[in-house]
Amino acid sequence: MNGTRHELELEPRELLVYVLRDRLRLTGTNVGCDTSSCGACTVLVDGAAVKSCTVLGVQAEGEEITTIEGLARDGELHPVQQAFHDRHALQCGFCTPGMVMATVSLIEHGEATGEEAIRIGLEGNLCRCTGYHNIVAAVQDAASAMGRAS
C-alpha cells in the first residue's frame, strides 16, 4: 500500500474501499455510490485503475495498491495533481481523488490521446459539480508533462 507492506486479517466480505478507509485510515479514497457507478473510490491495483468498491479486500492480497495519498513524492505533487490544481479542475473535490487516479492510469497506459479519448477513458468517473471541461484540459496538460501526449 503506497510502498508500505501491511498485514491485515480481513473478513471475506470486506470491500477494499472500506479496508482503505476504515482499517488503514486512508480516507482520501471516497465512497460516492457503493455500486460501481461513480468512480469516487478509484485506486490503482498494480497500475490499473480499479473501483475499490467492486473489489474484496482479500482479492488485493499481494498486490501493489496506490491511493491518492501515495502519489506525491518528496513534497512535490504528481503531475496529474499539479495539472488539476493549475486548471482549477475541481470544485467540491469529492470526485477528485478518483478522477486523479483514473487519469494516472489513463496516461500511463497511453490512452490519453486526445479530448475524445480522455472523455471516453474517464466516463466511469462522475463529477457531480460537472466540471468536465477543466478536467479534460488538466488531463491533456498532465499527459504533456508526463511526455505521454499524442
Angle at CA of residue 100, ends 76 and 18, nearest 5°: 105
Closest CB to ligand FES among residues 51, 78: 51
Residue ranges of alpha helices (H) inside the chain are 16-18, 79-86, 96-108, 115-121, 132-145
Q: Which of 24, 40, 44, 65 binds ligand FES (CB under 6 A)?
A: 40
Closest CB to ligand FES among residues 41, 65: 41
Using left for φ > 0, alpha for ψ between -120 and 50, and beta otherwise, residue 138 falls in: alpha
Is 36 one of the binding residues for ligand FES (CB under 6 A)? yes
Closest CB to ligand FES among residues 48, 150: 48
Is 93 one of the binding residues for ligand FES (CB under 6 A)? yes
For ligand FES, the binding residues (CB under 6 A) are 31-34, 36-41, 51, 53, 90-96, 127-129, 131
